[in-house]
Structure 1
Amino acid sequence: MTKEIVIATGNLNKLREFKEMLEPKGYEVKSIKDFPDVPEIIENGSSFEENAEIKAKTVAEAIGLPVLADDSGLVVPSINGEPGIYSARYAGDHDDQANNQKLLKKLGHSDDRNAYFKTVLVGMKPNGEKIKVSGIVSGEILLEKRGQNGFGYDPLFFVPGKQKTLAEMSDDEKNSISHRGKALRKLTTVIDNW
């Protein structure tokens, strides 16, 4: 028996990461693009967790199926935690190039380039039953982009333990250490009981 689960995203890169982790466990993974009646989601929370919960609840109530939603972002402590919950729209609306340029400009030639990616993943059933997991990967922001894979800030995010940016890693390598990969692995240990 296939278990249907909807990912509250239209981002194909993100959807692919969810499919790679959940389909082997017997889940049929869909996105909100498969459901034309999903209302606009207003992400007005003040934290990754609040935004993930808003997305999951809105979609679960609209379509009547279990929904997973994540809110993820890059946190750079030396610039007051920016871009944080505004990571995808830091310099506009989901413009990776502009976001990267703004981040580099804001950091300038600062010596403190430590950063981390954080994901909070919330699962919500139509009856309100909820699960939550999170994941973090630490690294530093380079002065210029490296690598062709990944998306968002991946070409600037250097992982010292791997001596590569996230954009220089294969999908499997990235998933093994990434914030979303860690959260998804935690999810796979609790989702069947949810």
Structure 2
Amino acid sequence: MRLVMASANPHKAIEIAAVLREAMPDVQIVPRPPSLGDVTEDGETLEVNALIKARFVCAAVGEPAIADDTGLEVDALGGAPGVHSARYAGPQQDAAANLAKLLAELRDVPSHQRTARFRTVVAVVFADGREVLADGVVEGTIATAPRGEGGFGYDPVFVPDEATPSTFAEMAPEDKNSISHRGRALRALAERL
């Protein structure tokens, strides 16, 4: 099977390809064509945004496309930033600014109330109109300060329950992928394809 990557985020593309190749050894992952413009992710759910991206790329290239959308849901913030995680600090999608805003908003929240989860929805859209969705969730807490050199986005402050006390950014990529929200969603997707 050949899938065109909808994500323009190189970190996401690497994770998606690594997990899918492990779950589906015969899959061929094709990078997003650089000539494609940006797509507006204006959905109010992760499912809608994943489908927007996959449909856009599939229509543009005429081949099956894979996309994901991920949100960090922090309980003390009523589930924010959620679907707006990439643009939490503004439309420029600045990961450092998003992280700084999150930590500032949680500054006075005690450790036991910093529970959160990462949620990912993955979509594959086929040229014949067929659509396949899968999701994955990992529970954890938000650290008081960034730790680790790996990962991207909120990884330096997310401590998964299954790997306490390490943040995702402190974990080797294969260890992160084995328990992450994106890894779980992609393995569930592989079972449905």
TM-score, normalised relative to structure 2: 0.92
Q: Report matched runs for 1:2-41 at 5 Å.
A: 3-24=1-22, 25-32=25-32, 34-36=33-35, 38-41=36-39
Residue type of the partner of 2:65?
V
The letter for the 2-side match of 1:115 is A
Deviations 1:66-119 (A, max 9, x none): 011110010112212111111112113221211111001111221211000000
Q: Which amino acid aligns with 1:157?
A: F
**Secondary structure of 1:161's partner?**
helix
For the residues of structure 2 that align with 1:63 and 1:77, how far apart are their CA atoms?
A: 39
Q: Do the aligned residues in 1 keep the contact of 2:58 with 2:65 (CA within 8 Å)?
A: yes
- Which position in structure 2 is the counterpart of 1:108? 107
In structure 2, distance between residues paired with 1:74 and 1:113? 12
Structure 1 runs not aligned, ≥5 long: none
Q: Where do 1:1-194 residues align within 5 Å?
A: 3-24=1-22, 25-32=25-32, 34-36=33-35, 38-92=36-90, 93-111=92-110, 112-163=113-164, 164-191=166-193
CA distance in structure 1 between the aligned counterparts of 2:139 and 2:93, rounded to whole angstroms? 23
Structure 1 residue ranges (4+ consecutive) displaced by more than 3 angstroms after TM superposition: none
State the 1:185 CA deviation.
0.9
Asked if the contact 1:39–1:59 (Cα under 8 Å) also holds between the matched residues in 2, the reply is no
Relative distance call for 1:45 and 1:127 in structure 2 (3 A) is same
| Cα pair distance change 1:97/1:40, threshold 3 Å | closer
| Structure-2 separation of matches of 1:42 and 1:126 | 21
> 1:30-53: per-residue Cα shift (whole Å, max 9, x none)?
222x251x3431111100001111
Q: Deviations over 1:157-178 (max 9, x none)?
A: 0123312111110001000100
Letter in 2 for 1:167: A
Any conservation in 1 of the 2:150–2:170 contact (CA below 8 Å)? yes
Give distance in 1, aligned partners of 2:88 and 2:190.
Answer: 31
SS of corresponding position for 1:146: coil
Letter in 1 for 2:78: N
Percent identical among aligned pairs is 40
User: What is the TM-score with the length of structure 1 in the denominator?
Assistant: 0.91
5+ residue gaps, structure 2, are none
Q: Return the alpha-carbon distance in structure 1 between the equivalents of residues 56 and 116 of structure 2.
A: 31
RMSD: 1.3
